[in-house]
């Protein structure tokens, strides 16, 4: 295959630790498109050797893998503060802060807003995908009214969590910024307009004109729970309705004329008086929820602590959730606590689950009774922590070089292979559930484990049926 050289980017990404040209972004993610446009503009304008990118914490965290220029990594929300330092220390260079809407709009809002107010000489490229992508799709200040996220499962309710934050409109109240615009990467026409806006930002920075912010609406298919096309449509329909595109200000556009007053081309929905919607009270919302059998205290039930670990995409978090759901059905106290790397697909992932007959103090599991590992890094990282008397179940693809601590039982189980043999390669987590069921190490009734498994496929019932079928067959074979 002929590899086309991508302007402004490394041709391979060895900083990722892999010999690859693939980025860490999910298919259809807006970040990938924006990264490419920024790299192109930077290279086409001959600025690669004079640009300092300030990278955020968020899904854009790894831009230093990709852009062939200077980089500084900032803590979450601090890119504008770090960019302030960068542009003051190197006024000759171009400084670009790259920030997500959680990063800029939530934890980092004040330092972004104050930098804009001071008119610092850097540009902020602000990627608005309406939620926290990296951490699993929680609500951000930009989340639309009614939009479902993991922390607004019934849709964002303004009476509880406020209205969406319009960053461009708010920044447009300030005197100092020289350029404020909002574009989108939802389709080709919009992508071309975004490229033109990024070029404009680089032009203004090259000439050291002052502070610029370019907000770019971007799809996040993974957390919208949509395929790439539907996510792009959501971006251009729903998001644009709330966040209209346009150039709010370009002070130097007509440089030969007398300095024009900042110009607002888009009516600010932030300022518009909206009727207060009829909203349900908290009590009403909770009353609507599906019946949850309340946990019952039973001091005779010992506390069990589980750790499930592997790569993102292996269903390791769902397996943990299934155990927690089975515990809930059994009226136990339970907690599920996920932890994953920046890449939701392909990165390392683990979750902790605690099941107890008494209220649980802490959700963290440092010394599990049961450890399930789907890959080698997970095994090597956690095997030494398992409690004496505990059990480790590890997939047969993992080379077991390090033995578990004394008094810990090791079970090597071909979960991945069995799932492939059953013709459902994605069901390796269900095969692990089979091992847990057969070995009895969850302390939970098989009927509840089965019911929890089916419930986890509520949106794809045919897959639930298939998984239950192969779970039962695998348990029989053990």
Between 31 and 249, name the residue whose CB sits nearer to ligand SF4.
31
Between 31 and 333, name the residue whose CB sits nearer to ligand SF4.
31
Separation CA 337–CA 307 (nearest Å): 10
Separation CA 400–CA 393 (nearest Å): 11
Is position 133 an interface residue for ligand SF4 (rule: CB under 6 A)?
yes
Going edge to edge, which strands form the sheet with 370-373? 333-340, 348-356, 304-311, 370-373, 391-395, 409-413
Minimum CB separation of residue 388 from ligand SF4 in Å reads 39
Which of 45, 59, 201, 323 touches ligand SF4 (CB under 6 A)? 59
Say if CB 372 and CB 309 are below 8 A apart. Answer: yes
Separation CA 65–CA 84 (nearest Å): 23
Is position 53 an interface residue for ligand SF4 (rule: CB under 6 A)?
no
Between 133 and 368, name the residue whose CB sits nearer to ligand SF4.
133
Please count the residues of the chain.
478
Structure tokens that stand for 24 in this block: 């860490």
180 binds, among ligand SF4, ligand TPP, none (CB under 5 to 8 A by kind): none
167 binds, among ligand TPP, ligand SF4, none (CB under 5 to 8 A by kind): none
Which of 95, 149, 344, 467 touches ligand SF4 (CB under 6 A)? 344
29 binds, among ligand SF4, ligand TPP, none (CB under 5 to 8 A by kind): ligand SF4
Strand partners, 297: none
Helix, coil or strand: residue 468: helix
Between 30 and 164, name the residue whose CB sits nearer to ligand SF4.
30
Which of 13, 25, 306, 311 touches ligand SF4 (CB under 6 A)? 25
Which of 9, 26, 266, 317 touches ligand SF4 (CB under 6 A)? 26
Minimum CB separation of residue 209 from ligand SF4 in Å reads 30
Separation CA 462–CA 447 (nearest Å): 19
State how beta strands 212-217 and 304-311 pair: unpaired
108 binds, among ligand TPP, ligand SF4, none (CB under 5 to 8 A by kind): none
Strand partners, 37: none
Separation CA 54–CA 124 (nearest Å): 9
210 binds, among ligand TPP, ligand SF4, none (CB under 5 to 8 A by kind): none
The residues that touch ligand TPP, with contacts defined as CB under 6 A, are 57-60, 76, 100-103, 107, 127, 129, 132-135, 140
Which of 8, 31, 141, 172 touches ligand SF4 (CB under 6 A)? 31
Minimum CB separation of residue 104 from ligand TPP in Å reads 7
315 binds, among ligand TPP, ligand SF4, none (CB under 5 to 8 A by kind): none
Say if CB 72 and CB 80 are below 8 A apart. Answer: no
Q: What is the DSSP string of 315-367?
A: SHHHHHHHHHHHHHHTT-EEEEEEEE-S-TTTSEEEEEEEEESS--S----SS
Minimum CB separation of residue 34 from ligand TPP in Å reads 10
Residue list 190-229, contact with ligand SF4 (CB under 6 A): 220-223
Residue list 73-132, contact with ligand SF4 (CB under 6 A): 129
Say if CB 27 and CB 222 are below 8 A apart. Answer: no
Between 214 and 435, name the residue whose CB sits nearer to ligand TPP.
214
How many Å is the maximal CA-CA distance in the chain?
A: 83
Separation CA 334–CA 326 (nearest Å): 9
Between 125 and 470, name the residue whose CB sits nearer to ligand SF4.
125
221 binds, among ligand TPP, ligand SF4, none (CB under 5 to 8 A by kind): ligand SF4
Separation CA 372–CA 383 (nearest Å): 9
Closest residue by Cα to residue 366 from 346, 390, 382, 348 = 382
Q: What are the residues binding ligand SF4 (CB under 6 A)? A: 25-26, 29, 31, 59, 129, 133-134, 220-223, 344
């Amino acid at each position: 295959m002929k590899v086309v050289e991508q302007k402004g980017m490394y041709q391979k990404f060895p900083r990722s630790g892999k010999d690859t040209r693939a980025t860490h972004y999910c298919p259809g993610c807006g970040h990938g498109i924006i990264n490419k446009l920024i790299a192109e503009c930077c290279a086409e304008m001959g600025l690669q050797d004079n640009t300092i990118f300030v990278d955020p914490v968020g899904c854009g965290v790894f831009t230093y893998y990709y852009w062939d220029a200077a980089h500084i990594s900032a803590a979450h929300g601090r890119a504008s503060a770090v960019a302030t330092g960068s542009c003051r220390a190197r006024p000759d260079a171009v400084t670009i802060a790259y920030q997500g809407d959680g990063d800029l709009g939530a934890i980092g809002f004040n330092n972004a807003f104050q930098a804009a107010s001071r008119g610092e000489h850097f540009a902020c490229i602000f990627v608005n995908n309406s939620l926290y992508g990296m951490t699993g799709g929680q609500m951000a200040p930009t989340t639309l009214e009614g939009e479902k996220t993991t922390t607004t499962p019934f849709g964002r309710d303004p009476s509880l969590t406020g209205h969406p934050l319009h960053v461009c409109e708010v920044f447009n109240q300030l005197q100092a910024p020289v350029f404020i615009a909002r574009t989108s990467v939802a389709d080709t026409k919009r992508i071309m307009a975004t490229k033109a806006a990024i070029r404009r930002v680089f032009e203004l920075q090259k000439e050291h004109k002052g502070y610029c912010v370019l907000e770019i609406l971007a799809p996040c298919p993974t957390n919208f729970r949509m395929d790439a096309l539907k996510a792009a449509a959501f971006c251009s329909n729903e998001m644009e309705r709330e966040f209209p595109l346009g150039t709010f200000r370009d002070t130097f556009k007509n440089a030969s004329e007398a300095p024009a007053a900042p110009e607002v081309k888009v009516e600010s929905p932030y300022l518009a008086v909206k009727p207060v919607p009829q909203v349900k009270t908290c009590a009403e919302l909770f009353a609507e929820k599906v019946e949850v059998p309340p946990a019952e205290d039973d001091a005779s039930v010992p506390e069990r602590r589980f750790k499930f670990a592997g790569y993102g995409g292996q269903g390791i978090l769902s397996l943990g959730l299934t155990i927690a759901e089975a515990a809930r059905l059994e009226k136990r106290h339970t907690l599920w606590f996920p932890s994953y790397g920046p890449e939701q697909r392909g990165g390392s992932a683990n979750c902790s689950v605690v099941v107890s007959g008494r209220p649980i103090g802490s959700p963290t599991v440092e010394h599990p009774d049961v450890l399930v590992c789907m890959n080698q890094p997970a095994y090597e990282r956690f095997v030494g922590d398992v409690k004496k008397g505990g059990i480790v179940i590890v997939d047969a693809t993992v080379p077991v070089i390090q033995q578990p601590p004394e008094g810990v039982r090791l079970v090597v189980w071909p979960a991945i292979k069995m799932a492939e043999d059953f013709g459902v390669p994605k069901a390796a987590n269900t095969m692990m559930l089979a091992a847990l069921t057969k070995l009895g190490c969850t302390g939970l009734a098989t009927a509840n484990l089965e019911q929890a498994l089916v419930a986890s496929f509520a949106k794809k019932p045919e897959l639930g049926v298939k998984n239950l079928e192969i779970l039962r067959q695998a348990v029989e074979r053990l």
